[in-house]
Amino acid sequence: GRALLVLLLSGTVSLLGGLIFGYELGIISGALLQLQADFQLSCFKQEVLVSAVLIGALLASLAGGILIDRHGRRRAILVSNLLLLLGSLILTLARSLTVLVIGRMTVGFAISLSSMACCIYVSEMVAAHRRGLLVSLYEAGITVGILLSYALNYVFADVDEGWRYMFGLAIAPTAMQFLSILFLPVNPVKLGSWDSDCQKGLIPLQDTEDRAAAKRESYQEKHYSFLDLFRTRDNMRRRTLVGLGLVLFQQFTGQPNVLGYASKIFHSVGFQSNSSAILASVGLGAIKVVATLVAMALADKAGRRVLLMAGCVVMAISVTTIGLSSRVAPLAVARDCRAANASLSLSQHPLTPVLPQAAVSPVPPASGAAKSQAGPGFAATGSLTEVFASAQSKVVPNPSLTQQRDLAGQSRKGALESTGPPLSAAPWAQHTVLNWITLLSMMAFVSAFSIGFGPMTWLVLSEIYPAGIRGRAFAFCNSFNWAANLLISLSFLDLIDAIGFSWMFLLYGLMGVMAVIFIYLFVPETKGQSLEEIDQQFSRKR
């Protein structure tokens, strides 16, 4: 009974953590136009507001690891919940841009800290044969959170100061997670009473000699300094190589930018009316949810390596196809206020954490802002905001609000038209088959990321480091994830100017091939093994 309770509560904590992460990153896109009107925000001020979450998340990546290792995973989650409650209250009651920025930075710090602590805590809490499922639940939560933020953007689009409700509603899941974690044990690493189940279903280690050695050695938790991450002690340098390689390839395969052009692809294949465009974008969100559920089901059966490599192969093929087809049927690329804002927004993937690029936002038109991945899995999820945004680009709420917002920025229709030539004049309008191939490639990319890099990167990171330095190691890799995400997003339009759209996507395809080779050579299979066995295996192998 106790084991089942721990399992259910661990799953709840993981799911709610992801849901809060996805919601906070998705909700800004809907709130931004109302904020733009209420506070007369210039493009620069919008960029500052959108990027405030990223700054907070980077700070958490730098400082959060020490908190997680020294004061425990459970306490770190509780602290992140309190910070999130504080940030949500600040945002709900804000009367100036400065207060809004402080609130968003607080929220960014909280969700980044929570993303790291949740994945580590749950991975240590549950038996080996359920670890993949429950840690991947975080990524599923991110997807649900972003879809929930779309729905609430729509609900509050025509409400005066609706952004206060959008920010304030994050308090509910935060309070639920806070209460759930109170019933879970403090030191999961030390609690072995229900962990004995994992011994029954362990797959063999690499060879019988390793297995025998693992059984002979009594596991002793060691103490590490941060610099040990770069030393040969217990093979820590190779573990750091694996972690950094995964988070950097997660970004350099194009995740933050590929879906930035989803709106143009949808229009090019004929999704122009409100209903059909909304249906298409929600369909893309549904594909992501289904793919994440598939990853959850397969993580403990097929294994991490298989899903990572399969996902990378499909992603490489998808972006290469988009690159080749865009040489024949080029997409218009806009460089405007929205594109600039989007480049600063957080893409996701927890682990995703994770930044929308050139796109119009959900119902209240605004710059895209969502991420999946800076935190675990965060990278893929954010870009869906742009899709949903463009889908609803012509939905106009009540007239008075519309007039008010037109004064602060362009009307939705104008904003859309400014991003490129009208459909009939667009060079890609005559290439129906290629356009559909591009759309299908984008759907395949979403699915592949949600099965591979999205959840698996953060799952592997929560497994390969020793308990004594797991928090700091995870945070170190996570900071590179956020930094790479920002770099990719900020340089995207400049790179397109320099080498062209199609070559950019072909370059992403090449990075995908390199990622497959990296995973094959360096990333170990960890399914079905206890964290102690994984650690002992790494410590012995050179």
* Residue 350 placed within a domain: no
Least confident piece of the model among 237-251, 418-432, 494-508: 418-432
- Condensed to tens digits (0 to 9), the pLDDT of residues 525-539 reads 888 778 888 777 777
146, 48: one domain: yes
Give residue 109's pLDDT. 95
With 80 as the cut, is the pLDDT of residue 40 above it?
yes
25, 113: one domain: yes
Angstrom distance (rounded) from CA 181 to CA 194: 18
* Residue 136 placed within a domain: yes
Average pLDDT for residues 180-207, to the nearest whole number? Answer: 49
* Residue 209 placed within a domain: no
Q: Which residues contact 444 (CB under 8 A, 6 or more apart)?
A: 314, 317, 318
Average pLDDT for residues 510-533, to the nearest whole number? Answer: 88
Average pLDDT for residues 483-501, to the nearest whole number? Answer: 78
- Helix, strand or coil for residue 185? coil
Average pLDDT for residues 130-155, to the nearest whole number? Answer: 85
Angstrom distance (rounded) from CA 406 to CA 540: 64
309, 442: one domain: yes
Q: How many CA atoms lie within 13 A of 308 on its CB side?
A: 31
pTM to 2 decimal places: 0.72
157, 286: one domain: no
Average pLDDT for residues 177-182, to the nearest whole number? Answer: 91
Give residue 107's pLDDT. 96
* Residue 45 placed within a domain: yes
171, 303: one domain: no
- Condensed to tens digits (0 to 9), the pLDDT of residues 290-328 reads 898 998 888 888 888 999 999 999 999 999 998 898 888
Contact in structure between 496 and 260 (CB atoms under 8 Å) = no
16, 116: one domain: yes
Q: How far is the first Cα of the chain from the last one, in angstroms, to the nearest whole number?
A: 42
- Higher pLDDT: 340 or 81? It is 81
Q: Which residues contact 198 (CB under 8 A, 6 or more apart)?
A: 127, 128, 129, 528, 530
Q: What is the CATH number of the domain that holds 474?
A: 1.20.1250.20
133, 32: one domain: yes
171, 245: one domain: no
1, 104: one domain: yes
Average pLDDT for residues 110-127, to the nearest whole number? Answer: 88
- Condensed to tens digits (0 to 9), the pLDDT of residues 437-464 reads 888 898 899 899 999 998 899 889 888 8
With 50 as the cut, is the pLDDT of residue 516 above it?
yes
Q: Which of the 8 DSSP states describes residue 525?
A: P
Closest CA to 294 of 456, 426, 436: 456
- Select from 123, 158, 184 the last residue of a domain: 184
* Residue 347 placed within a domain: no
- Select from 130, 161, 184 the last residue of a domain: 184
* Residue 303 placed within a domain: yes
Helices (H), 253-411: 255-258, 262-268, 274-298, 304-328, 337-344, 379-391, 399-408
Angstrom distance (rounded) from CA 399 to CA 388: 22
* Residue 144 placed within a domain: yes
Give residue 276's pLDDT. 57
In sequence order, the β-bridge partners of residue 367 are: 360
Q: Which two tokens stand for residue 168?
A: 């304030």
Give residue 224's pLDDT. 75
- Condensed to tens digits (0 to 9), the pLDDT of residues 212-234 reads 554 444 445 577 777 877 777 77
- Condensed to tens digits (0 to 9), the pLDDT of residues 57-86 reads 989 988 888 888 888 888 999 999 999 999
Q: Which range has highest mean pLDDT (29-43, 53-67, 94-108)?
A: 94-108
Burial of residue 95 (CB within 10 Å: 0-12, 13-18, 19+) is: exposed
67, 143: one domain: yes
Give residue 204's pLDDT. 32
Average pLDDT for residues 376-404, to the nearest whole number? Answer: 39
Give how many domains the chain has, as a whole number.
2
**What confidence tier does 405 reach under pLDDT thresholds 50, 70, 90?**
very low
Where in the sequence is the domain holding 445, given as residue range(s)? 229-331+431-541
* Residue 41 placed within a domain: yes
300, 245: one domain: yes
234, 164: one domain: no
